[in-house]
Chains A and B, each alone.
Chain A
Amino acid sequence: MDIHEYQAKQLISKFGVQVPVGEVIYQPHEAVTVASWLNEDDVVVKCQIHAGGRGRAGGIKICKGQEEIIAEVDRMIGMKLVTPQTGPEGKIVSRVYIEKAYNIKSELYFCITIDRETGGNTIIASKRGGVNIEEVAEKSPQDIFKVKLGPGNKLLPHHARTISYELGLKGKIARAAQKNFIALYEAFTNLDSSLLEVNPFVVTDKEEVVAVDCKASFDDNALYRQRQVAEMKDDNEYDPLELEAARHDLNYVKLDGDIGLMVNGAGLSMATMDIIKFYGGKAANFMDVAGAATPERVAAAFKLIYRDKDVEGILINIFGGMMRCNDIAQGLVNAAKDVGLNKPLVVRLEGTNVEMGMEILKSSGFPITPVPTMDQAAREIVQLVKKK
């Protein structure tokens, strides 16, 4: 799960990471109050959406004085912000963060992430912060410094010292940075985070080190014990169909094709997207009917996919190890009745009572094509959708 920048800053500041003072607002008129209590010459006004690249897209502005702040907030709230990470459709801005601006001497990059190889965590740091780190890694890899910590290990003072020296910091600034690094690592492990990226930590003219941007992701599996994080979820950031799928415990991700998919198992679901691509089609979604594919779940999943306006045809690929195909077929036919199915539907079922299941589908009177293999199913649906 991802959260907004301002929420991430709230969380990490509790662990001792230094962040600018600021406040989030939802309505333009609230800007007046914030601007007056902040009482700073310069403030930064920032659109809060779950995507990077906001600065260049006009989603972050430095403002002087109340009038400028109010005008900027007025412009931002409700605007559609398009960045390289939002996709062409962009995202509507509903929250704006106003915070103190600093006189910046230099910018650093600091990131903590899970290291799948070692089972521990990796810290990535660079003295070239404030820019796209992937570009830095590509063009000047010598400026990227990594520390790998074994599973369950802490970031110790000596690690923090080493990193600060590698970033070329000295004296008071180095000590301030070390304190921030250790605090951020504490936040990472205590909050079941999977990514904490501060880009940048700025070194100010007053020799402070401050986290002025923060991107945070959290382990979905641990949200049950991270209530504070779980409550920060912003439903506006998700596709409405994805939210509904989550309520039904279905793994659903909206994609940009036109063939709706319903599959049991994440791997088989990906492989089904792949085979559709292989035959020249494009999946409208990833869908793993996680857990047991009971007739009820299958029907709920089917209705959800059917509601997606981009879907021109549906492919169902169920490898039911143990469940009965006739039950699943009946669930599907009932769902087809409920929605008044009028788009092509290709079904591949594998499991016990396959023949009975196929027969139920064939005699349903709906445009359903039962096929025996996954390969044939993919070819069939791609053709049917192309014909339309």
Chain B
Amino acid sequence: MAVLITKETKIICQGFTGAQGTFHSERAIAYNTNLVGGVTPDKGGMTHLDLPVFNTIAEAKKVTNCNASGVFVPPPFAADAILEGVEAELDLIVCITDGIPTSDMQRVRREMKGSKTRLVGPNCPGVLTPGVGKIGIIPGHICKPGRIGVVSRSGTLSYESAVQTSELGQSTIIGIGGDPVNGTNFVDALELFLDDPDTDGIVLIGEIGGTAEVDGADFIKSWGKKISKPVAGFVAGAAAPKGKKLGHAGAIVSSGDETADAKKEALKSAGVIVAETITTIGDAMIKAMEKK
């Protein structure tokens, strides 16, 4: 089963014929992903990578019955691309694009109120269910089928976590992205993994900035004894100075609650086993599973 991407998910790529869209679609196809086509305005009717190209998502949906998309559209046009998918009532939109203006994402957040579509990202590595398929840029060969759910703000740290947990294997890896205003958050991802019968343990990788990790910790605290899964965590940025933006638009400490230490404390108080370095996250997961 896993979450977000299963064998039933029919995926299209937005920005399909561009350099990024092409490169990563090739890899998705090589990973046996159920990619059914792509969208590039004005290129409808073409065939690309042996798949049909459509002008709009509505058209793609009519023909392919797709229910998910990966967005590889450049930043100035990405918010519009997301909203096109929302209007077409896709179940899942994964936006990989990095560099979308925050006010555009605020508009997306407003427009998505009450919609049934789930957005993952932007500025994220995507979603991958080992052995089933992927949307985004997570390299398939480093992931192994298994029963650990991984959720991470950082792309490269989700890769590192996949490697560190390769003994256990992963049910699904979700990169929620490093932007200040985004779609799926830790709480949403934790909820998905908690409800997933194929996930036994959860790895949560956070970083400085914002309070999403603390919200995640509060959510874990609310779990009853009966419905609960072991969680291991890591928060990047313990060595980060205050007020400096480190790579991700959202990775900046502007107040005391946003430091790595404050977030680690919050997670620990919720019973999460916190790894002090990313290289011990696999051990932390094993420890958390033994504790339960």
Contact = CB atoms under 8 A, between A and B. Distances in A.
Chain A partners chain B: yes
Nearest to B258: A116
Interface stretch (A15-23, A200-208, A268-276): A268-276
Given A119-B181, A220-B249, A265-B155, A114 B102 contact: yes
Interface stretch (B51-59, B105-113, B266-274): B105-113
Contacts, number: 163
A277 interface: yes
Interface stretch (A59-67, A73-81, A171-179, A283-291): A283-291
Interface in B248-292: 248-251, 260, 276-279
Contacts of B207: 266-267, 270
Contact of B240 (A273, A290, A375): A273
Contact of A151 (B99, B100, B109): B109
Interface in A230-282: 251, 253, 255, 263-271, 273-278, 282
B138 interface: yes
Given A221-B249, A222-B102, A277-B238, A267 B244 contact: no
B117 to A, nearest CB: 15
Interface stretch (B4-12, B65-73, B157-165, B217-225): B157-165
Contacts of B101: 192, 219, 221-222, 225
Given A275-B277, A277-B238, A290-B247, A268 B157 contact: yes
A117 interface: yes
Nearest to B277: A275
A267 B237 CA distance: 8
A216 interface: no
A266 B277 contact: no
B240 A267 contact: no
B239 interface: yes
- What is the interface residue range for chain A against chain B? 35 or more
Contacts of A121: 106
| Overall SS of chain A's interface | mixed
B211 A271 contact: no
A286 B247 contact: yes
Contact of A274 (B178, B210, B260): B260
Contacts of A266: 154, 156, 178, 207, 246-248, 251
A129 B209 CA distance: 26
A153 B278 CA distance: 40
B236 A221 contact: no
Interface of B: 27, 75-76, 98-107, 109-110, 137-139, 142, 152-157, 159-160, 163, 178, 180-181, 205, 207-212, 215, 234, 236-241, 244-251, 260, 276-279
Q: Closest 3 CB pairs between A and B?
A: A267-B154, A266-B247, A265-B156
Given A224-B76, A265-B247, 10 more contacts: A265-B157, A267-B248, A271-B160, A274-B236, A274-B239, A274-B278, A278-B276, A278-B277, A282-B239, A374-B160
